[in-house]
Amino acid sequence: MNNTNHTIYPNVLASIGNTPMVQLMNLCPEFNLNIYGKMEAFNPGGSIKDRTAKNILMDAIKKGQINKDTTIVESSSGNMAVGLAQTCLMYGLKLIVVVDPLINQHTLKILKAYGAKIEKVTTQENGSYLNARLNKVDHLLKTVENSFWPNQYANHANPEAHYSTMREITEALDNQVDYLFAATSTCGTIMGCAEYVKQHSLNTKIVAVDAMGSVIFDQAPGKRLIPGHGAGRPSQLIDKSCIDEVMHITDKECVEGCHQLLQREAILAGGSSGAVVSALQKLAPTLPTNANCALILCDRGERYLDTIYSPEWLNQHFPESSELTKPQTLSYQWA
Ligand SMILES: Cc1ncc(COP(=O)(O)O)c(C=O)c1O
């Protein structure tokens, strides 16, 4: 793919999308597969959620649900909040982000830097912070005049944002995408990609990569350490008939996948990227020779430096994986 891009964008939001595709030569060298990573960390806010946040707000502006005086209210402790903060700042919209005590401190600083107002719930309700956050959103929507909830778990402008994610992947690979690996939470990414595949009658097999302990695909809820993929509530956007394979990845496999991506491809990515790498490696022995596999790598690794990439954290949670951080030799071919 020719990634030379000399476009001058009218503003930072216009530079969202058209992220690079990178060939991943070293992930599964024992199998004859063509593996590509869609580098969503290249979005200006650092993740795939820039696309979602922008599309949801643009859609609401078009529909007249938002005007210049609207306050956006959302419950998110991660990439969606950052994406919203970026788009809200650009449009001069007020934003209240409802978070809980588990929020990553670096993300909190990013949100404050973008000017978002933070409302922190401090106690769990009906056994979870998620319920407490949603109740707080409900309260804010009732009490803050002219407020709007993007509601990414049910808003169809969420999957719609990822129609172009799949179009970019498909065009980069000349319509030959045999397998797409996408991590799931709201299921906006995977459903937008699946919709594109269906509408263009492509033969792409869609592999959903979920976290062990996530309830999206009818598993019992369980404790999860890594934020990003997985969900504690069902998605209202998913159509399971569009998904060919579901893979549940443990926290340990997810962490191992992140370190392989780093050590074998020099890519410092977030947790869900490690999950898709692990899913690919599990499925690889069953895939046909020369299959084109596209992996959506959703965000960058900086916000995981105190967890996935911290030797102390690794030692605390996965002492048996202490070898993970040892550098490996990349197979770069010097001239
Ligand atoms: C890092 C990361 N990976 C994967 C996902 C899942 O994407 P989606 O909500 O579109 O299913 C998210 C969602 O926030 C995320 O932040």
Q: What domains appear along the chain, each with residue ranges and CATH number?
A: 12-47+162-325 (3.40.50.1100), 49-148 (3.40.50.1100)
Is 79 a pocket residue for ligand 1 (Cβ < 6 Å)?
yes
- With a 6 A CB cut-off, is 80 part of the ligand 1 pocket? yes
Q: What angle do CA 119, 147, 232 make, to 5 degrees?
A: 55
Measured from the Cα of 78, ligand 1's closest atom is 16
For residue 172, pLDDT over 90 is answered with yes
Higher pLDDT, 237 or 6: 237
Instruction: Supply the pLDDT for residue 5.
Output: 66
Please identify, by atom number, the ligand 1 atom nearest to the C-alpha of residue 186: 9
Mean pLDDT of 83-101: 96
- Taking alpha carbons only, the member of 320, 273, 222, 250 closest to residue 46 is 273
Per-residue pLDDT for 3 more than 60?
no
Looking at residue 102, its pLDDT comes to 80
Does residue 325 carry a pLDDT above 90?
Answer: no
Buried b (16+ CB within 10 A) or exposed e, 123-153: eeeeeebbebbbebbeebeeeeeebbbbbbb
Largest CA distance in the chain: 65
Q: Is the pLDDT of residue 20 over 70?
A: yes
What spacing in Å lies between the alpha carbon of 169 and ligand 1's midpoint?
17
Distance 53 CA to ligand 1 centre (A): 12
Write the residue with the smallest CA distance to atom 13 of ligand 1: 228
